[in-house]
Amino acid sequence: MSSIQAGDHRAFMQLALQQARKSPPKPTNYRVGAVMVDSSSNEILATGYTLELPGNTHAEQCCFLKLAEKHGVSEENLKDVLPADLVLYTTVEPCSKRLSGNLPCVERVKRLAGSIKTVYVGILEPETFVTENTGRTSLQEAGISVVAVEGLEEEILEVATAGHLKA
């Protein structure tokens, strides 16, 4: 059980923001935090932040890789061992394209469609690196709801863009 009340989306988003603050500021990426929650038990299954794990890792990817390791499966087979009522909180909308060549986070989330029911986002992805992020539409087409958690946008954007050159 989490100490956060079930359904307190703002509190879970604040936890994701705490994760984002752990990410090193760089001009070439956003500092993003993510939290995976089993909504039926209100248990936090994993947290992650940008560049937490080796490789050019994103926050959602780190959550999934840590869960896969915990369960002794590959990330591709993670759906086989996860509960069916998951929600993902991420400070920035999952990416739909990776300039590094890594699998986009939207595709990683879609592999868990049926387990992940809802993705709660703090802000939509700014168009700094990839214009026209199609992530939200792609997730919705896969049957995953995308819901904005309002009230933390300014703080999330400030954390996400730390290290970026200001115009």
Q: Which two tokens stand for residue 47?
A: 């947290």
Query: DSSP letter at 22?
Result: T
By the 10 Å C-beta count (0-12 exposed, 13-18 middle, 19+ buried), 122 is classed as buried
Check if 60 is active-site.
Answer: yes
83 contacts 148 by C-beta, under 8 angstroms:
no
Query: Taking Cα atoms as reference points, which of 122, 120, 127 lies closest to residue 159?
Result: 122
Measured CA to CA, the distance from residue 65 to residue 74 in angstroms comes to 8
State which amino acid sits at residue 60: E
Catalytic residue chosen out of the listed positions 60, 93, 127, 153: 60
By annotation, the residues acting in catalysis are 60
